[in-house]
Amino acid sequence: MAVPKKRTTKSKRDKRRLHIFLKKPVLARCPKCGKLLLPHTLCSYCGYYKGREIVNILGKMTKKERKKREKEMKEKDKETQKKKPLDWKQLSKR
C-alpha cells in the first residue's frame, strides 16, 4: 500500500479544499406564474415557455390535483389584474 512520505500541512490541505463548495444555482422567474426556474427552460408549474403554452400540465394530473392547481392559477390571475397596468411614461422610466 502506498504510504505518504510527509504529513500534509494545514496550509496545503486548506488550499486544496479552497474550491470545494456548493455554488448557488442561477434562477429566473416565470413571467406567467412567478415561480423560480432555470433560465431558458420550460416552467414545470404552468407549462409555459416564451409566453406560449408548450405542455398541458393540467391534462396529466388527477382530478383532485387539477382542481387545486386551477384554483391557485385563478387567484394568481386576480392578483395580476389588480395591479394597475403601467402607462408608457412609467414604462420608459424602468
Q: Which is nearer to Zn ion, 14 or 28 (CB)?
A: 28
Cβ at position 23, least distance to Zn ion in Å: 24
**Closest approach of Zn ion to the CB of residue 74, in Å:** 15
Binding mask 43-82 for Zn ion (x = CB under 5 A): x-xx------------------------------------
Residue linked to cell 387539477: 66
Query: DSSP label at 11?
Result: H
Amino acid at 6: K
CA 35 to chain centre: 6
Contacts of 29 (CB under 8 A, 6+ apart): 35, 36, 37
Nearest residue (CB) to Zn ion, 45 versus 66: 45
